Structure 1
């Protein structure tokens, strides 16, 4: 029996770490797409959601088979609102920011979302911040400060550096709102149904924005096959597959362990960005990354 338990735990670890690495490829794919095409952030995001849509519809079908009680009006509004925050706004800010900052810095700033979740719970829901969390917050923000200053000295010729950084911070904040809100809504709604409807709401938001912005399918056809492939890669390799792998990991090893193992994400992004995009790895970035990861791991360890 013990051997079987160990095997399941090992499987959960491997599934989670591979899922985290796949998630970290998102910034790399986006940066390559911007470098080799004339797509803007909204068009690329629309492609990502288009090729993810069949999987979201399948999730809705599975959710309907659970025979849960119908959602109330307030629950519908919560699910739709959180979906728009978590997958529409945060993704849009992320893709826009990646036009101006490196993939390594993007992942590091985005990885601050657990600390923002702690602050939201503290100021909005009056949850006390324990001493371990205070240490974690100090470590993460010190780390991001060191890495940011180092990046600023490296990327001196970029006039949109601060704007891009601000957009990634907005992405991290909006995603933390989604995390905090989903933690309060899911127990009443159900995880499969919540995820399915939230993703559909975000997809509708992206499609509506694309249409209002004057985008058409004809615009996409002008780009040819390569543009379509970026959307397929983002949808499958960097979105759907790691989402299911992380969910499977949580079932096997628990959300706390998943949060801790996910710390491999920024390291994976930095290494991929170095070898694929030619981004420099420098001392301040390494020190800052280690501090941020240590802080986030501490928060993950104390998460209820």
Structure 2
């Protein structure tokens, strides 16, 4: 169980470093549609190439159309979550956006309860509350009296949070008997298709397509659409949707720390306290989950 927990955490860390680099790309004139679509499209190509190398004998016929449709739908959720999150940071501060995105933690547990009757334990609910409190501190919102924020940005990031939670639940149940790279390739194909369809008019008229954008696409694809999905595809089915949602909150402290060192953004004592609270809660949940699973494995 420990190695699967580490896989989910590593995927979250990979996601966490992206926002700083995306902000740099925005400074160079690229749009959320260009960045998110090129990232997903390049990632899908890389995953299909790796899938053919690692599992050359795998046949799609052994899976069925329903499974493929489920994987494409799973990809659509993470693709649109990424796109709408990228859009939101144009309207609201990055610290507020990441804090609101972290609401997928309790949303994942709620979805598991509502749709699959998997009621969260008191421990899971309590740790979720602690993590949510930690995100408020880590986002530097404690004592902030400036409420002049864009409701458009808040809408987009909350929409991204709902889609992110749906992705976690869907990924934990779709394509369980498929090779991980092939599963990830189908998911990223769905991601690229969804982002492309939503942004078709703007992408058709963009003038930034070229080698420079390709460099950004390759870098962001590796850390945003290749490494995390592969790790999530392997780890989430073993860890479970609810716990995975909690583990993936590691994206927040990583994003804050990366922004501090790469972009020179302020990192206050309050934020550090919030990060410590979150990491402590995540570690506590890991220990709880491992102790809970060990007796079952012994039987």
Interval of TM-score (by shorter of Structure 1 and Structure 2):
0.7 to 0.9
Residue 72 of structure 1, aligned match among 39, 49, 64? 64
Q: Which residue of 2 aligns with 1:22?
A: 14
Q: Which residue of 1 aligns with 2:89?
A: 98
CA positional deviation for 1:202? 1.5
DSSP 3-state at the match of 1:129? coil
Task: Describe how 1:145-224 pairs up with structure 2 within 5 A.
Answer: 145-147=136-138, 150=141, 153=144, 156=146, 159-160=149-150, 162-189=151-178, 191-211=180-200, 213-216=201-204, 219-221=207-209
Over the aligned positions, Cα root-mean-square deviation in angstroms equals 3.8
Decide whether aligned partners of structure 1 residues 207 and 184 sit closer, same or farther in structure 2, where only a CA change above 3 A counts: same
Decide whether aligned partners of structure 1 residues 236 and 148 sit closer, same or farther in structure 2, where only a CA change above 3 A counts: closer
- Aligned length in residues: 284
Q: Which residue of 1 aligns with 2:258?
A: 272
Q: Is the 8 A contact 2:140 2:268 kept in 1?
A: no
| Structure 2: gaps of 5 or more residues | 294-299
Decide whether aligned partners of structure 1 residues 128 and 264 sit closer, same or farther in structure 2, where only a CA change above 3 A counts: closer
Residue 128 of structure 1, aligned match among 119, 129, 137? 119
Q: Is the 8 A contact 1:104 1:269 kept in 2?
A: no
Q: Hey, what's the Cα distance between the residues in 1 that align with 2:128 and 2:265?
A: 27
Q: Hey, what's the Cα distance between the residues in 2 that align with 1:192 and 1:117?
A: 24
Q: TM-score, normalised by structure 2?
A: 0.76
Q: Is the 8 A contact 1:122 1:128 kept in 2?
A: yes
Q: Hey, what's the Cα distance between the residues in 1 that align with 2:89 and 2:116?
A: 32
Q: Hey, what's the Cα distance between the residues in 2 that align with 1:153 and 1:64?
A: 55
CA positional deviation for 1:151? 6.7
CA positional deviation for 1:127? 1.4
Q: Hey, what's the Cα distance between the residues in 1 that align with 2:27 and 2:98?
A: 18
Q: Which residue of 2 aligns with 1:3?
A: none
Q: TM-score, normalised by structure 1?
A: 0.75
